[in-house]
Amino acid sequence: MADERKTVFSGLQPTGNIHLGNYLGALKNWVRLQDEYDTVYCVVDLHAITVDYDPVKFHQDRLEAAKVLMAVGIDPGRSLFYFQSQVPQHSELAWILGTMTPTGVLNRMTQYKDKVAKGVAANLGLYSYPVLMAADILLYRASLVPIGDDQKQHLEMTRDLAERFNNRFGEVFPIPDPLIPETTARIMSLQEPGNKMSKSDPNEKSRVLILDSPDDITKKIKSAVTDSDPDVRFDWDEKPGISNLLEIMSGCTGQSIDDLVAEYGDKGYGVFKQAVADAVIAELASVRASYKALDDAEVARLMTKGALDARQRAEGFQQEIRKFTGLSGI
Ligand code: AQP
C-alpha cells in the first residue's frame, strides 16, 4: 500500500563534532518526527566540501556523523538515511533549480556573507549552497523541514523556488514548511553568547558535544561566560549568557523558562550552572550509551543500504522532473 504520510526531510553537514545546538535545534525533532511522518534524513557531505577540508579525515568524519545520528535515535529501519553524495539526483535537481535562481537572491543569503566575512574562501559551491539545499528538500517532495533558526532564510528560498518551478512547469512540489523549535532555535556559544554555537568555532569551550563526558560537560557549562549580576533572569539584551543556559536547560528538561527562573532566580550562578550541567548530562546519557553499542562496519553497511533505497526513490521523482522540464519525452 502506498505511504500516505507527509514527508519530512532534513540534513546535517559532517563538518565536525555534533553539538548541543544541532541536537536541541534540529535533531530532537528529527527523532520525534519518525513516529508520525515519512522521514528522510541525510548526512549532507556535498554541502560540507564547500569549505576547506582534509579528504582522509573527512571520510572518517562522515561515518562518525552517521554513527552519532544513529546514537541520537535516527533509526534506518524507520527513516531513509544515507550520504547525500551517494544519490546523484540531488545534484541533478540542484542544477535545474540553479537555472531558475536569480543571482540577486543568492547575494542576499546571510550565511554565505557571514562565512566569507570570517575568512572562508568564496567559491561557487558555497555561494550556491542554498540551491543544493532546496534540491535536497524538493527532491522528495517534502512538506516539513526540521531546522534551527540559522537555516530559516535558506528554507524561505526553497519555498520561493518551489513556487517558481510550479508556476513555470506545473504543480510538482508541495511548498515545504520549516519546523523550528520555540525556545531552542538558536543555541549560542558558551564563550561568546552573541554568536551561535557552531561546529567550526575554533574555541572548543564554546560548545558542548553530544559525546562529551559528564566531566567535560560540567567544566564547559561552569566556564560559560555570564555577567556579574547574580540574578538568574531571561533577558537576551542584558544577560545573554544566562538566557542561553536557561534555553539549554529548558530544552533538556522540558521545563518552561518561567518555571526555571522561579526555581533558580535567587540561587546564584554556581547552583544554577551545576543544575544546567546535570540536566545536559542526563539528557545525553542515553546517546552516549547507544553510541558505545554501535559498530562502525554495521553503520557503514546501513548507510550503503540507505543510499541504494534513496537512489531508487529519488530516480522515480527525478523522472517526473525530467519530463516536466523537457529533458525527457512525456
Ligand atoms: N547553534 C545552533 N542552535 C540551534 N540549531 C542549530 N543548528 C546548527 N547550529 C545550531 C541546526 O543544526 C542542523 C544541522 O546543522 P548543519 O550541520 O547542517 O550546519 P550549520 O547550520 O551550519 O551548523 P554548524 O554547527 O554551525 O556547522 P558549521 O560550523 O559547519 O557551519 C541545522 O538544522 C541547523 O539549523
Convert the pLDDT of each residue in 169-187 to its tens digit: 999 999 999 999 999 999 9
Q: Tell me: pLDDT of 1 over 90.
A: no
Q: Tell me: pLDDT of 3 over 80.
A: no
Q: How far is the CA of 319 from the centre of ligand 1 (A)?
A: 32
CA-proximal residue: ligand 1, atom 10 (nearest):
21
Q: Residue 329: pLDDT band by 50, 70, 90 thresholds?
A: confident
Return the active site residues: 115, 196, 199
Closest CA to 137 of 159, 153, 170: 159
Q: Which of 8, 72, 84, 151 to mutate to test the pocket of ligand 1 (most atoms within 8 A of CB)?
A: 151
Q: How far is the CA of 30 from the centre of ligand 1 (A)?
A: 14
Ligand 1 pocket, residue 84 CB under 6 Å:
no
Q: Tell me: pLDDT of 16 over 90.
A: no
Ligand 1 pocket, residue 110 CB under 6 Å:
no
CB 291 within 8 A of CB 67: yes
Mean pLDDT of 114-138: 97
Q: How far is the CA of 9 from the centre of ligand 1 (A)?
A: 15
Ligand 1 pocket, residue 22 CB under 6 Å:
yes
Say how far apart CA 290 and CA 326 lie, in whole Å.
48
% residues pLDDT > 90 (the chain) = 97
Q: Quick one: pLDDT at residue 2?
A: 64
DSSP alpha helix (H) spans, the chain: 20-22, 28-33, 45-48, 55-72, 89-98, 103-106, 110-117, 124-127, 129-139, 152-169, 214-222, 240-253, 257-264, 269-293, 296-324
- Please state the pTM of the whole predicted model: 0.96
Read off φ and ψ for residue 196, nearest 5 degrees: -75, 150
Q: Quick one: pLDDT at residue 4?
A: 85
Say how far apart CA 88 and CA 311 lie, in whole Å.
8
Mean pLDDT of 221-234: 95
Ligand 1 pocket, residue 197 CB under 6 Å:
yes
One DSSP character per residue, 261-321 reads HHHHTTT-HHHHHHHHHHHHHHHHHHHHHHHHH--HHHHHHHHHHHHHHHHHHHHHHHHHH
Q: Which three cell numbers stand for residue 293?
A: 553499542
Ligand 1 pocket, residue 12 CB under 6 Å:
yes
How many Å separate Cα 162 from the centre of its chain?
21
% residues pLDDT > 70 (the chain) = 99
Closest CA to 178 of 150, 146, 148, 149: 146
Ligand 1 pocket, residue 247 CB under 6 Å:
no
CA-proximal residue: ligand 1, atom 33 (nearest):
147
Give the strand order in the sheet containing 38-43: 79-83, 38-43, 7-12, 144-146, 177-179
What is the DSSP-derived secondary structure letter of residue 54?
A: -
CB 264 within 8 A of CB 272: yes
